[in-house]
Amino acid sequence: MNLDPNWTFDLDDEFTVRGGREPSVTAIGHWVVFSGVSSLAVHIYILLKTYLNLPDADKPGVDGLAKLTAAPTPEDVQTALDELIGIGAIDIDIIPARNGRTRRRWTIHEAPPEDDDQPSAPSDDLGLSQIDPGLHP
């Protein structure tokens, strides 16, 4: 609803506030970005976090992640998953199913492990924390 253009705000007016449309956003923690994992691992982490917000969507397996990320092979996806496991961004548990088979349960962590010793920002020795004064007159 649009307000009358002649409407003015009176300080004594009572009003209510409500939430509107929410963006469909997937945030990624700096602890993953600066961890040193490959760009493919970061891409996969973002996709997996996106699926957390889509509970009814069919989840891709390794082959599906390879297609979604344009990874050369599913083996490349497995290597990237191993990187994410290595920094504590995901856990993959094997759960016995009733039919005698197994299934995998993927846990996507949004916060770093408590014993995280990963960098929280680019290190100064990379020269990334300095702005080149020649770029901004």
Asked if residue 37 is part of any domain, the answer here is: yes
pLDDT tens per residue across span 36-67? 999 999 999 999 998 888 878 888 889 999 99
Q: Tell me, what CATH number does 59's domain have?
A: 1.10.10.10
- The pLDDT score that the predictor gives to residue 120 is 58
Residues 6+ positions from 62 with CB-CB distance below 8 Å: 74, 77, 78, 81
Name the residue with tokens 């993953």.
32
Asked if residue 23 is part of any domain, the answer here is: no
Q: Is the pLDDT of residue 76 over 80?
A: yes
Residues 6+ positions from 40 with CB-CB distance below 8 Å: 69, 71, 76, 77, 79, 80
Asked if residue 65 is part of any domain, the answer here is: yes
Helix locations, the chain, DSSP H: 30-33, 39-52, 62-69, 74-86
- The pLDDT score that the predictor gives to residue 49 is 92
Asked if residue 100 is part of any domain, the answer here is: yes
Name the residue with tokens 């506030």.
17
Asked if residue 84 is part of any domain, the answer here is: yes
- Report field, pTM of the whole predicted structure over 0.85: no
Domain count, the chain: 1
- The pLDDT score that the predictor gives to residue 40 is 97
Domain interval for residue 93: 30-110
Asked if residue 73 is part of any domain, the answer here is: yes
User: For 99-121, what is the mean pLDDT?
Assistant: 81
